[in-house]
């Protein structure tokens, strides 16, 4: 069994602590000292690994996106039909790994901060392009491209909108309800189509 060095473990602990701190605070208004304390390391070590707080925030967003991308790719490999590909993308968006209060709050905080940060704005554009591409990978097997593009755009807006709505509520996120809302929209748009 390969050993994992301390640096990757500490970097991951700092990223997890960042997500936790943002989730609790509901904003990016957290300090490196606070994050380091949550991760069980010194502020100096946090600065050593990431430099400034902005770099840690950027690394955290990249981590969230990488996890989402890996989960989506695994789900798409298991989908046998175009329609199953679309449902797989929706299900991953609201999976237990993704649709957690801390992660939801982090997404909302990153969306807000992206208005000021070109680096975060670029990452969010990557996310939007990937989501569209993943949805289109199924929808173009069912619909003409222009129609598939409109439905992909609306589906992505529903997914993002449900994250925003969830961030504004207290309590445990209800993934099944969110999935059902998106699937209802898709069924309405795809009913009567010959689905492979």
Tens-place pLDDT, residues 22-66: 888 877 888 899 999 999 988 888 888 888 888 888 899 999 999
Residues 92, 154: contact at Cβ < 8 Å?
A: no
* CA pair distance 89, 62, nearest whole angstrom: 19
pLDDT in tens, 181-195: 999 999 999 986 655
């Amino acid at each position: 069994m390969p050993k994992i060095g301390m640096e990757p473990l500490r970097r991951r602990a700092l990223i997890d602590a960042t997500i936790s701190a943002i989730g609790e605070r509901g904003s990016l208004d957290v300090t490196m000292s606070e994050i380091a304390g949550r991760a069980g390391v010194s502020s100096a070590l946090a600065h050593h690994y990431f430099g400034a707080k902005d770099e840690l925030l950027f690394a955290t967003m990249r981590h969230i996106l990488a996890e989402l991308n890996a989960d989506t790719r695994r789900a798409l490999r298991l989908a046998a039909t175009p329609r199953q590909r679309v449902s797989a993308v929706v299900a991953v968006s609201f999976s237990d790994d993704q649709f957690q209060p801390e992660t939801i709050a982090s997404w909302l905080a990153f969306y807000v901060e992206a208005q000021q940060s070109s680096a975060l704005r670029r990452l969010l554009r990557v996310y939007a392009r990937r989501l569209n591409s993943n949805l289109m990978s199924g929808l173009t097997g069912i619909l003409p491209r222009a129609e598939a593009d409109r439905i992909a755009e609306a589906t992505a807006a529903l997914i993002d909108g449900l994250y925003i709505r969830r961030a504004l509520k207290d309590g445990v996120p209800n993934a099944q309800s969110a999935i059902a809302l998106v699937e209802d929209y898709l069924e309405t748009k795809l009913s009567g189509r010959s689905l492979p």
